[in-house]
């Protein structure tokens, strides 16, 4: 194994790891600091804030830029069992449009939102003026609570979900609730959910928001069936990563080719970061939003930056120099 080969390998691995770590780290930051209604940030009221206001609570939690009107008081957990019958129609008639499922006992991390499966059909039926068909479809349809959660989030394990529901980690919610005032008094041990928090970086142009992308870069294949997305994206990503490693290591050891090695490593790092996310939850977190007025560029993440910059470097090298993938001819 020659020195040039080892050097290329070292550069490739180092750059790829930096991009992957930056990508996964910034995604975790986005999950913990950015919120929307299907990804709320839970805030447990400590004893020292008993009797204080929601404004004080947000300041204490480090979210002073958020609005009290975007807070919701977490409802008590449902007294149901995971293997019990869940009738979507009956539950929706009681105002239960969705549910929050916590995956940690302390309720410190954002819960998963489980939609009542009959709600989407109801919205469509209202638009078409045919609520009778909706009633007929859902009045007899039943499933279990655990299965309803797994249907919303296929990466979950049904047995584990059933146990979480049995232990009281499933809470009802309605989309018409919320809108708390700045002067609302909070009590110790209450849990509030912050349902919207974006961070403006450059007003009118650049902000951080929370978004989930089930497809490829820029949202491609986002509407495809789950099995299609998983087969296409994971298989293509694996093939692409293997090819990039092979190409980077077989590339001629010429001074002008180090940029190409680094570019391939950036693409590799971005692909690996998104690959890990999709394996875990069937989607990737995007949080960088650039816009002008009401026109928004597709939300993206650090992995997308790494892939785009890497491709750009390769194209630039091929435009201003010879292809980095060819041996230098002797004159």
What is the SS3 assignment for 98? Answer: strand
Residue 182: active-site member? no
Q: Where are the beta strands (DSSP E) in the chain?
A: 41-44, 71-73, 85-86, 98-101, 112-115, 143-144, 170-173, 191-194, 199-202, 206-213, 284-292, 295-296
- Phi, psi (degrees; rounded to nearest 5) at 213: -115, 105
286 is catalytic: yes
Q: How far is CA 250 from CA 3, 225, 320, in A?
A: 13, 37, 22
Q: Is 95 left (phi over 0), alpha (psi -120 to 50) or beta?
A: left
Exactly one of 56, 65, 130, 304 is catalytic; name it.
Answer: 304
Q: Which among 65, 166, 286, 289 is annotated as catalytic?
A: 286
Bridge partners (DSSP) listed for residue 264: none
292 bridge partner residues: 295
CB half-sphere exposure, 78, CA atoms < 13 A:
22
Cβ-in-10-Å burial (0-12, 13-18, 19+) of 242 comes to exposed
Catalytic positions = 286, 304
């Amino acid at each position: 194994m020659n020195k040039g080969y080892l050097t290329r390998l070292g550069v490739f691995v180092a750059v790829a790891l930096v991009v992957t770590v930056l990508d996964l780290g910034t995604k975790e930051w986005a999950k913990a600091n950015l919120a929307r209604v299907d990804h709320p940030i839970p805030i447990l009221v400590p004893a020292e804030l008993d009797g204080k206001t929601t404004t004080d609570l947000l300041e204490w939690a480090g979210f002073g830029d958020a609005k009290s009107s975007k807070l919701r008081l977490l409802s008590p957990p449902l007294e149901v069992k995971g293997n019990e019958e869940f009738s979507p129609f009956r539950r929706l008639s009681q105002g239960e449009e969705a549910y929050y499922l916590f995956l940690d006992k302390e309720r410190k991390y954002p819960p998963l939102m489980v939609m009542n499966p009959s709600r989407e059909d109801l919205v469509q039926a209202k638009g078409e003026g045919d609520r009778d068909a909706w009633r007929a479809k859902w009045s007899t349809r039943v499933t279990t609570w655990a299965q309803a959660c797994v249907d919303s989030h296929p990466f979950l394990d049904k047995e584990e979900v059933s146990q979480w529901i049995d232990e009281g980690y499933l809470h009802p919610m309605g989309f018409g609730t919320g809108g708390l005032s700045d002067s609302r008094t909070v009590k110790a041990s209450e849990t509030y959910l912050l349902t919207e928090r974006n961070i403006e970086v450059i007003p009118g142009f650049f902000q951080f928001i929370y978004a989930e992308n089930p497809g490829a870069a820029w949202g491609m294949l986002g509407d495809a069936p789950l099995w299609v997305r998983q087969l296409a994206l994971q298989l293509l990503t694996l093939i692409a990563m293997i090819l990039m490693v092979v190409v980077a290591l077989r590339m001629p050891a010429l001074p002008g080719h180090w940029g190409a090695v680094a570019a391939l490593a950036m693409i590799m790092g971005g692909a690996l970061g998104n690959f890990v996310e999709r394996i875990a939850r069937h989607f990737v977190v995007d949080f960088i939003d650039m816009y002008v007025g009401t026109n928004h560029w597709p939300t993206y993440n650090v992995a997308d930056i790494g892939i785009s910059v890497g491709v750009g470097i390769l194209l630039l090298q091929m435009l201003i120099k010879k292809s980095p993938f060819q041996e230098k001819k002797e004159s």
